[in-house]
Amino acid sequence: MKRKLSEIFYFLLSLVIKLRLVFYKIKNASKPSVFVFTDSRGFDVTKLTHKYNAFSWYTKYFVKNFKTDAYVCPERTTTVYDFLDYYHNSPKKYQFVIAHIGVVDFAPRPISQNIEIIKSKKSKIIRFFGDEIYQKLIDFNGYSDEYNGEKTASTVPEFMVELIAEEFNKIENLIWVSCNAVDLEWVGNYKARPANSVMIYEKSKQMLSNLNTQTVVDLTLLSKPEIHQYTCDNVHLTKKGSRFILENLLTLIDKHYK
């Protein structure tokens, strides 16, 4: 019964969000078109009514002020493969494209869970990178560090980062919001993350070095105190973190896309 009520609640919440998005898209029909795509960092994870909600964090600014195609964590595990798929299924005529994506991909997780995610993205991976790369991801042996009693792996191993960057470089007017480092001595309101979570930072730096665009919100520059201030758990944003992202995005937009 409880599960059924939860399903009804989220169905109604999703419907309300979709109706609000349609309303603002019609209201802003004469304004510039923009594309906003985020993983779970795009909404307030601490409140039930904000789950997958484009009106909970900085994304609401773009919904209310532009003709926006907004996708806030649209998949159970929202990855760069999903971003590429959603974008290339869109009109692709935007003043700018915001991609707040990558932490799911760069992060280590139990290898069995990782394989499950990769299999769920099979058609998308093959669409952009081919059968050989998909099989290489499936066959990836993972890392020696363990988490929850298993070896760890990630949906974007090191060999994939440059390939992802190449696809990102094909997207006109892209703004990428990178990932910050993980402070393993601080868990926030979550739990201890894998010991090799430093790879999130390392892959973000690798990605940045392969991107052609200068329009990046570079979260790798955050200090440990800033990570504690702007995230609630090393990953998801606080209210201050959302404001920080928005301010940096608006600075980039004013400089490059006005």
The predicted-structure confidence for 199-217, as pLDDT tens digits, reads as follows 999 999 999 999 999 899 9
The predicted-structure confidence for 113-123, as pLDDT tens digits, reads as follows 999 999 999 99
Per-residue pLDDT band for 65 (boundaries 50, 70, 90) equals very high
Residue 107 to residues 143, 163, 225, 235, Cα–Cα distance (Å): 12, 17, 21, 10
Per-residue pLDDT band for 10 (boundaries 50, 70, 90) equals confident
**Partners of 175 in the beta sheet?**
98
3-state DSSP assignment of residue 143: strand
Per-residue pLDDT band for 242 (boundaries 50, 70, 90) equals very high
How far is CA 139 from its chain centroid?
A: 25
Per-residue pLDDT at 44: 86
Per-residue pLDDT at 64: 97
| Burial group, residue 181, by CB count within 10 angstroms (0-12, 13-18, 19+) | buried
What domains, with CATH codes, occur in the chain?
Answer: 32-109+161-188+198-256 (3.40.50.1110)
Per-residue pLDDT at 72: 95
Question: What's the CA gap between 91 and 93, in Å, rounded?
Answer: 6
Question: What's the CA gap between 103 and 89, in Å, rounded?
Answer: 23
| Burial group, residue 115, by CB count within 10 angstroms (0-12, 13-18, 19+) | middle
Q: What's the whole-model pTM score?
A: 0.94
